[in-house]
Amino acid sequence: MDSFTLNKIAGAVLMVLLLTMGVGIVSDVIFEPTIPGKPGYEIVVSSEADSTPSAEAVPEVVPISERLAAASAESGEKVFKKCAACHTVEEGGANKVGPALWDVIGRKPAAHEGFGYSAAMTAYAGEHDAWTFETLDHFLEKPKDYINGTAMGFAGLRKPEDRADLIVYLREQASNPVPLPAE
């Protein structure tokens, strides 16, 4: 390689360096950086006075007797559609994934003929004489929390009004419905 070619390569490298440096200087002039007076994200460090745990407000649930008095069986029938995949409510209805729920209020837990209950539900039945409005309300809220180990895979009904509507609907699915509790 002769000296003229080496000079051309060195000149090209210098030109690229000068061009890069020039573009940087020009962009700094055009886009002048401004530093804000206050930082964008202020990090607050908690003090010992702030470290006291704050209790979350637990929503107050109206007693079941009051909710049942205001509940609607028609609305409960709509809520029951979530349950219909696993349960029936007809008199003499067949068991599905879950037991038939005809005349469930007032019936002993885990007592429907021909259904294989989980060990947790059977143990619960040993401690409770019958499904009451209150026990059904708690069970329907979160079945797995109320009866730990139950085979029921339903997540539960969060709204107290939906649970009351469903309970009133289930109450009507009986030959002799259990009277509603007095307020």
The tens digit of pLDDT for each residue in 101-115 reads 999 999 999 988 889
pLDDT of residue 183: 63
pLDDT of residue 34: 79
Written as one letter, the residue type at 115 is F
Q: Are 76 and 170 in contact (CB under 8 A)?
A: yes
pLDDT of residue 142: 93
pLDDT of residue 50: 54
Q: How many C-alpha atoms does 63 have within 13 Å on its Cβ side?
A: 6
Nearby residues of 59 by Cβ (< 8 Å), 6 or more positions away: none
SS3 87: coil
Q: Are 104 and 172 in contact (CB under 8 A)?
A: no
Enter the pTM of the model: 0.66
Residue numbers of the chain with a pLDDT score lower than 50:
none
φ/ψ of residue 172, rounded to 5:
-75, -15
pLDDT digits (tens, 9 = 90+) for 112-136: 888 999 999 999 999 999 999 999 9
3-state helix, strand, coil in the chain (%, to 5): 45, 0, 55
